[in-house]
Structure 1
């Protein structure tokens, strides 16, 4: 994943009131921490930070350049959003080092066509992995091509990208293929009809 550079400012105005004032100024209050460093409070340009997250997702690698002359390489650890407007209202940013292995969740990208008429049920939407901090993929592809109705794809069957170790339980189900509900309901109704006819005859 490509690195994004974002300028930031130190933040000294704390508490709920300070956070509101930061957001009214078009900025996102954030905390940078990790590697034994004392947590640092900063503010990020709201539109620029939101664009970076839209582009690279929750694991976007960001080089934070603070106006006091410091620089940190981080990835988002937690992003809080406004439940109504979906705006980013706060971010926790984890300091990482090049060559360091970290544990994180990566979204699943499902590809391929299953057996005609099959209904895909996504049991998982992401996988927990160990990866080098500066080489985290945007997603992990899970191929469902040709999967039959009544079958499933497990974690053990997922082809992990080079350098990525999936740490979910290998037997955990990623996706299943079931019959469409309408067809299943029709079969249940057909099975009940003979029983109803026998009851009427009695």
Structure 2
């Protein structure tokens, strides 16, 4: 995964008014923490950040004006409930070669075996541990030919080289279920009734 370079500046004022002012100036408030350092409060260019966060677990090189560069990954992203706006981001500092635990989306590919079986997704993401600069965007599992009753567990997922599961291997991720038979409608007319 390649790094996304974004510019940021140190934030010295706090509170809702300060956050609104930053958003009006096309910036997103954020905090950077990790590696025993004191948290750094920054404002990040909003549009570049929004585009970068379309990739799960994106690796970001934050160029902080007058304070050097930090290599970070997003740990918590807060979004406005109604508008397509990111209101705040928590970044975790990472170093090349270091392993981190992240949630990655689980994608499916292929078609189920013939019939009207249904795919039931139990987990949309899976927790894995991987090298910070080589985080996968997603884990893909094939459902081709799976019959009703089949279950895919976490241990069945094919992870990229160097990545390991951070959950129990027996954790069910998805299963194939047979359609439920509809119960016959109750008889509307009683048998043997006299007028």
Q: What is the TM-score with the length of structure 2 in the denominator?
A: 0.91
- Give aligned pairs, total: 191
Q: Tell me how far 1:83 sits from its aligned partner.
A: 0.8
Of 70, 82, 85, the residue aligned with 2:83 is 85
Structure 1 residues 17-166: aligned runs within 5 Å: 17-54=17-54, 56-57=55-56, 59-116=57-114, 117-166=116-165
Q: Which segments of 5 or more consecutive residues in structure 2 lack a partner in the other structure?
A: none
RMSD, matched Cα:
1.9
Could you say what secondary structure the match of 1:161 adopts?
Answer: coil
* Alignment correspondent of 1:3: 3
Q: Which segments of 5 or more consecutive residues in structure 1 lack a partner in the other structure?
A: none
Q: Distance in 2 between matches of 1:16 and 1:120?
A: 44
Structure 1 runs of 4+ with >6 Å offset:
none
Map Cα deviations across residues 81-133 of structure 1 (whole Å, 9 max, x no partner): 00111310000000000000111111111111112221111000011111000
Specify which structure has the higher proportion of helix: 1
Q: Tell me how far 1:165 sits from its aligned partner.
A: 0.2
Q: Distance in 1 between matches of 2:12 and 2:52?
A: 25
Q: What is the TM-score with the length of structure 1 in the denominator?
A: 0.88
Could you say what secondary structure the match of 1:156 adopts?
Answer: helix
